[in-house]
C-alpha cells in the first residue's frame, strides 16, 4: 500500500506495532463469539428441557457456525486488511453498501458491548449487594468501561494475551464439572422435553446470540501475523473451543441433576457447580463468569475500533478515525466506541439481544451475497484459503444459514422491527452526509489507498499469472473508488489509480 495521504501517526505506528499470532487470535475469536457457557442456561428453559438445547448446540454449529467460519476464512485471507466485511461488501457491491454493512455491524457491536459491564456487576452484586444501588453502580460501570478501554488503548497484543489468560480461567471450572459429574450422569435425562413450555423466539435468539460473530475478527485482519495461514487455523480452533465450552457443561449439568427447566436461567451454572462440587466450585464459576465479561468486552471493543480504522483508511470516515497511538491502536475509534457503550448501557438484556440479532442478521445476509457474487464475478481473485467447493456448492453452503437468519428476523418483535428499521434509515442518511462533508472539505479524509485482496502469497509477485494481477487491480480499484465518484468520472479515476499501483 502506498503512503500518500495517510496521517503520519498511522505510518509510524503500523510499522512497529506487534502482530497477533495464532493463540491470541483464537482467544479473541472465542470471545467475539462466546466467552464460555454463561448465558446458554436460557436455552434449556426456552427449549422446555435439555433435549432441544443439546440438539441446538450440536446442529446449529453445523448449519450456521461452520459455514460462517469457512466464508470468513476465505474472505479474510483474500482481503487481509482492517475493516473486514466492510471491504468484502465494498468489493462486491460498492462503497455505499460497504458503509451500510459497517454501520450496522458497528452499531450492533456497540450495543452488544454495552451488556458486559452490566453483567459483570450483576455477578458481583450477589456477593456485594452495594452494586444494586445506583450510587455505587453508576461509578462502577463507568470505571469498568474506562479501565477496559484503556487496556485496548495500550495494544492489541496485550488484549490478545489477556484474552488467553481469561479464557483459561473461565473454562477450567467447567472442565472440572465435566469430570466430577461423570459418575452421576443419567443419559435418559438428556432426552427430557416439554413442548408445551417451548418458547421458540427465546430459544432461537439464545442459540443465535451464542453462536454468531465469527466474522468479527476479520475487522483486524491487518494486525494478524501471516493472516493467510493464521486465520483459517484460528477459526477452526475457535469453533472446536466454542462448541466444547457449551456442550460439556450442558451435558454435565442436565445429565447429573434432575432440575426443572424453569430454573435454568442466567447464572444457573453457579448453582450447578454448588450441587455437583460444592461451594468452592460455585465461587469459582461466579468469578469465571464475571471475568469472562471482561474478555467479551475487550474482544468486541477491539473489533469495533479496528473496523472504524479500516473504514477511515478506505475514505469512508474522517481521517481522525485512522489516527493511531504510540501503541499502534486507533485512539479516536476506541473512544468513539466506548462512548457508544456508555450511552447504551441503560438498555435491558433482552432488548439489546433482539436488536443485536436483527441487525446482525441483515449484515450477514449481505455478506453471504457478497461471497457468492465474488465467486461468480471474480473467479481468479487470489484466495490464499478457499472453501473447497465450486460456485454451486458455495451457494448451497449459504442457504441453510440464510434460512436461519430469516427465521430469526421473522421472530423479532414489532419494537425490534421499528428500532432496527430506524437504524437502517440513519445509515442511509449518514452516507450521503459524509460524502457531502468530504466534497465540501469540512473535515479531512484519508486519501483512499489499495485495500484489496492479498497478492503476496507467492515468493515472487512478478511471476504471478497476468490474469491474477489484473483481477487484483480490479478489486483494488473498486475499493479505492471515491465515495463521491460516479458515472464518467470513474473511468479517469481508475486510470489514475492503476498508474499509481504500477
How far does Cα 74 stand from its chain's mean position?
A: 16
Coil, strand or helix at 20: strand
Q: What is the mean pLDDT of the chain?
A: 81
Q: For the chain, which domains are there?
A: 22-440 (1.20.1740.10)
Residue scoring higher pLDDT (312 or 494): 312
Q: Per-residue pLDDT for 115 more than 90? A: no
pLDDT tens sequence across 265-282: 877 888 899 999 999 999
In this prediction, residue 299 carries a pLDDT of 86
DSSP conformation class of 220: B
Q: Which three cell numbers stand for residue 310?
A: 479500516
In this prediction, residue 480 carries a pLDDT of 39
> pTM for the full model?
0.77
345 confidence band (pLDDT: 50, 70, 90)? low
Ranking 133-142, 213-222, 276-285, 319-328 by mean pLDDT, the lowest is: 133-142
Q: Per-residue pLDDT for 67 more than 80? A: yes
Of 65, 70, 68, give the one whose Cα is nearest residue 383.
70
Number of helical (H) and strand (E) elements in the chain, helices listed first:
20, 0
Percent of residues in the chain assigned helix, strand, coil, to nearest 5: 75, 0, 25
CA atoms within 13 A on the CB side of 63: 15
Mean pLDDT of 144-159: 84
Q: Per-residue pLDDT for 217 more than 90? A: no
**Top-ranked range on mean pLDDT: pick from 78-92, 215-229, 339-353:** 78-92
pLDDT tens sequence across 311-329: 999 889 999 998 888 888 8
* Matching residue, cell 481521517: 319
The set of residues, in sequence order, having a beta carbon less than 8 Å from that of 186 and lying 6+ positions away, is 255, 256, 258
Please classify residue 173 by burial: count the beta carbons closer than 10 Å to its beta carbon, then call 0-12 exposed, 13-18 middle and 19+ buried: buried
**Top-ranked range on mean pLDDT: pick from 76-90, 117-131, 141-155, 286-300:** 76-90
pLDDT tens sequence across 21-45: 899 999 989 998 988 898 788 899 9
Q: What DSSP letter does each residue of 239-286 carry, written as one string?
A: HHHHHHHHHHHHHHHHHH----GGG--TTHHHHHHHHHT-HHHHHHHH
Residue scoring higher pLDDT (346 or 79): 79
Q: Per-residue pLDDT for 399 more than 90? A: yes
Q: Which three cell numbers stand for residue 158?
A: 496485550
Amino acid at each position: 500500500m502506498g503512503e500518500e495521504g495517510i496521517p503520519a501517526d498511522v505510518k509510524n505506528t503500523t510499522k512497529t506495532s506487534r502482530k497477533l499470532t495464532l493463540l491470541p487470535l483464537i482467544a479473541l475469536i472465542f470471545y467475539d463469539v462466546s466467552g464460555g457457557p454463561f448465558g446458554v442456561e436460557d436455552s434449556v428453559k426456552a427449549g422446555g428441557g435439555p433435549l432441544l438445547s443439546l440438539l441446538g448446540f450440536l446442529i446449529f454449529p453445523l448449519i450456521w457456525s461452520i459455514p460462517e467460519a469457512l466464508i470468513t476464512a476465505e474472505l479474510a485471507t483474500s482481503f487481509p486488511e482492517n475493516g473486514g466485511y466492510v471491504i468484502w461488501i465494498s468489493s462486491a457491491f460498492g462503497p455505499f453498501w460497504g458503509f451500510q454493512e459497517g454501520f450496522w455491524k458497528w452499531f450492533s457491536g456497540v450495543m452488544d458491548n454495552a451488556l458486559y459491564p452490566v453483567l459483570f456487576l450483576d455477578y458481583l452484586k450477589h456477593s456485594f449487594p452495594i452494586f444494586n444501588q445506583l450510587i455505587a453502580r453508576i461509578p462502577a460501570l463507568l470505571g469498568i468501561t474506562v479501565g477496559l478501554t484503556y487496556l485496548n488503548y495500550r495494544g492489541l497484543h496485550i488484549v490478545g494475551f489477556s484474552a488467553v489468560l481469561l479464557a483459561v480461567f473461565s473454562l477450567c471450572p467447567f472442565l472440572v464439572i465435566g469430570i466430577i459429574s461423570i459418575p452421576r450422569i443419567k443419559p435418559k435425562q438428556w432426552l427430557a422435553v416439554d413442548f408445551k413450555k417451548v418458547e421458540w423466539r427465546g430459544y432461537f435468539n439464545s442459540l443465535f446470540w451464542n453462536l454468531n460473530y465469527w466474522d468479527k475478527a476479520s475487522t483486524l485482519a491487518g494486525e494478524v501475523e501471516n493472516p493467510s495461514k493464521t486465520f483459517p487455523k484460528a477459526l477452526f480452533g475457535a469453533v472446536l473451543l466454542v462448541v466444547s465450552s457449551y456442550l460439556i457443561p450442558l451435558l454435565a449439568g442436565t445429565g447429573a441433576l434432575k432440575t426443572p427447566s424453569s430454573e435454568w436461567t442466567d447464572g444457573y451454572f453457579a448453582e450447578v457447580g454448588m450441587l455437583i462440587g460444592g461451594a468452592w466450585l460455585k465461587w469459582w464459576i461466579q468469578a469465571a463468569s464475571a471475568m469472562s465479561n471482561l474478555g467479551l468486552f475487550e474482544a468486541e471493543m477491539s473489533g469495533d475500533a479496528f473496523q472504524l480504522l479500516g473504514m477511515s483508511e478506505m475514505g469512508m470516515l474522517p481521517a481522525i478515525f485512522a489516527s493511531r497511538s504510540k501503541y499502534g491502536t486507533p485512539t479516536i475509534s476506541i473512544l468513539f466506541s466506548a462512548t457508544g457503550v456508555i450511552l447504551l448501557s441503560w438498555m435491558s438484556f433482552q432488548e439489546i439481544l433482539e436488536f443485536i440479532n436483527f441487525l446482525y442478521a441483515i449484515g450477514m445476509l449481505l455478506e453471504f451475497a457478497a461471497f457468492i457474487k465474488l465467486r461468480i464475478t471474480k473467479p481468479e481473485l487470489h484466495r490464499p484459503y478457499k472453501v473447497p467447493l465450486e460456485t454451486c456448492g458455495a451457494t448451497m453452503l449459504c442457504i441453510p444459514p440464510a434460512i436461519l437468519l430469516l427465521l430469526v428476523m421473522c421472530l423479532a418483535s414489532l419494537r425490534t422491527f421499528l428500532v432496527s428499521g430506524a437504524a437502517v434509515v440513519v445509515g442511509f442518511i449518514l452516507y450521503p452526509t459524509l460524502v457531502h462533508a468530504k466534497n465540501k472539505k469540512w473535515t479531512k479524509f484519508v486519501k483512499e489507498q489499495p485495500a484489496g485482496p492479498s497478492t503476496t502469497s507467492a515468493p515472487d509477485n512478478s511471476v504471478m499469472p497476468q490474469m491474477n494481477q489484473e483481477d487484483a487491480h480490479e478489486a483494488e480499484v473498486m475499493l479505492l473508488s471515491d465515495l463521491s465518484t460516479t458515472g464518467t468520472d470513474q473511468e479517469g479515476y481508475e486510470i489514475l489509480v492503476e498508474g499509481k499501483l504500477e
